[in-house]
């Protein structure tokens, strides 16, 4: 039975490199995969990219993308063995149900990788839906500067100080975000 997996963490835990490793493992065995990433992440340019330099071409999704229909069409041409989705926090709730249908109705495992929470500690809509319905939840570990497990994403300005308000999504990497434990996240926001 195919399952829907959600691999989640703070930033800098290796989500994209884990996705690319899983994709490599399938392909090395002669199996067909389909990769997806969010069009919203303008840094990706149609690629899943890891900080350690690995990358692979991916299909882009936006809120109106009918992922289930696109996967069915691709599967009819070349039977797929796995679907891998990067930046899964940007999926809509409806898209999460669509990828669940890929596992349940078509029988293809779906591996989603994404952030659990935003810079204010709130769940992203896609992450909330995945946490609610995924068959398997896997936390990937990142490390705070103190050595504790990093679970939070602190948005910082050019001055390095915490940003407390703003849109939920602002694309950026190490230049805009720090992965911190809850203690240091709270101290930065309240400092």
Q: What is the CA radius of gyration of the chain?
A: 17
Per annotation, catalytic residue among 87, 93, 165, 170: 87
How many other CB atoms are found less than 10 A from the CB of residue 103?
A: 19
3-class DSSP assignment, residue 179: strand
Return the DSSP state at 121.
Answer: S
- The span from the CA of 187 to the CA of 106, in Å, is 47
- The span from the CA of 23 to the CA of 177, in Å, is 27
3-class DSSP assignment, residue 89: helix
- DSSP element (H, E) containing 85: strand 82-85
- Tell me whether residue 64 is one of the annotated catalytic residues: no
Q: Which residue has the tokens 């109106």?
A: 64
List, by residue number, the catalytic residues: 87
């Amino acid at each position: 039975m195919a399952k829907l997996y959600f691999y989640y963490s703070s930033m800098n835990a290796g989500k994209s490199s884990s996705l690319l490793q899983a994709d490599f493992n399938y392909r090395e065995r002669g199996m067909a995969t389909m990769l997806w990433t969010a069009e919203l992440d303008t840094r990706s340019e149609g690629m899943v990219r890891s900080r350690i330099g690995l990358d692979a071409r991916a299909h882009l999704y936006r809120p109106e993308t009918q992922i289930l229909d696109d996967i069915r069409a691709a599967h009819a041409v070349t039977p797929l063995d796995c679907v891998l989705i990067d930046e899964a926090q940007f999926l809509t709730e409806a898209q999460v149900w669509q990828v669940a249908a890929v596992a349940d109705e078509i029988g293809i495992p779906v591996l989603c990788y994404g952030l659990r929470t935003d810079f204010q500690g709130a769940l992203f809509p896609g992450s909330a839906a995945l946490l609610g319905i995924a068959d398997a939840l896997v936390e990937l570990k990142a490390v705070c500067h103190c050595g504790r497990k990093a679970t939070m994403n602190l948005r910082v300005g050019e001055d390095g100080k915490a940003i407390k308000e703003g849109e939920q999504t602002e694309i950026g990497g190490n230049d805009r975000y720090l992965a911190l434990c809850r203690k240091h996240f709270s101290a930065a926001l309240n400092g």
